[in-house]
Structure 1
């Protein structure tokens, strides 16, 4: 049974770490949730800071896992990437690009301001189909495993508050303001139309 009939999407840059951790948390709690990335490509750490591993959106988590395993099993085990990919492939088959999705959501949650800007730009560039309200909310989460876990707790907590609002469109500012004070992180919020 879903906690709420609201449709949530969690969005980071590569649909690899932050959005997937939050996706896992929210799905376990019974939310209707999907996750996406907004980047041009899926970029994850490589053997050096200037040598990231880069994949096309749509490349399966299995393929990425096997590629990293072949390149350097020890490195990618130690830095947690193989564990991350293992979690990801239990949730869905591959990273998805938000700008290619045709699905509709009530709440879009982004994990960094640059992604928030990309989501707003995309939503404002398309022609609304039914003029339903979409809330775009940003909470900054650093792109590392520990912060992704903390961020997933925060996003989950925020979604619980959103889901229990009696009149979301009227109450959301108050809900987000209360949450912002509680979590001590700035929250951005905009309204766009589907």
Structure 2
């Protein structure tokens, strides 16, 4: 049976599972990768028109339910700011934001978009380690939480994943070299860790 990298489960993780992880989720899904996305925060927070408080939702609150709530609060603001468009896009990918720490699934490859989130993922994995010898590769792709940066980052994440895929069944052995070459090629700093679960 031939090796198929696209069957490997990959997790994309940011703070709220709203923008950066979902932009990459959308693109990688289109290209046929086995993708899931998560947040690590305690709740999902979205800005308010005042800028002084936040709209707070539990993880697993449907994206469409969040959108309907925001429309009632201030349709004009959330429409012009692009939040409603973001929620509609997310809904087309999956129904709700999900929390990484609640997932029981195993992911050999995890990509985060913020060093704080990377640290939270590593800490969670270390706390739940089964002392196994199964490796988990965690890569941080530092990305500012704006629509423009999320789009640019998604293109780069796709490029990195495709370069990993090009190594076939040898991807794990070559991952450090792939990442090193990618950093030189793109001038993007990537934090990388190998854990055992």
The residue aligned with 2:69 is: 67
4+ aligned runs moved over 4 Å, structure 1? none
Cα distance in 1 between the residues matched to 2:71 and 2:183: 40
Question: 2:171 aligned with 1:168, yes or no?
Answer: yes
Partner SS, residue 93 of structure 1: coil
- Superposed counterparts of 1:127-138, under 5 Å: 127-128=129-130, 130-138=132-140
The residue aligned with 2:194 is: 191
Return 5+ residue gaps in structure 1 as ranges.
none
CA shift for structure 1 position 130: 4.9
Q: Deviations over 1:35-76 (max 9, x none)?
A: 000011111222133212111111110110101111111111
The residue aligned with 1:108 is: 110
Cα distance in 2 between the residues matched to 1:188 and 1:82: 32
TM-score normalized with structure 2 length: 0.94
Partner SS, residue 4 of structure 1: helix
Q: Deviations over 1:146-175 (max 9, x none)?
A: 111111111111111112224122201110
Cα distance in 2 between the residues matched to 1:178 and 1:96: 32
When the two structures are aligned, how many residues end up with a matched partner? 193
What do you get for the CA RMSD once the two structures are aligned?
Answer: 1.3
Q: Deviations over 1:83-137 (max 9, x none)?
A: 0000000011100000000011111000000000000000000032753211000
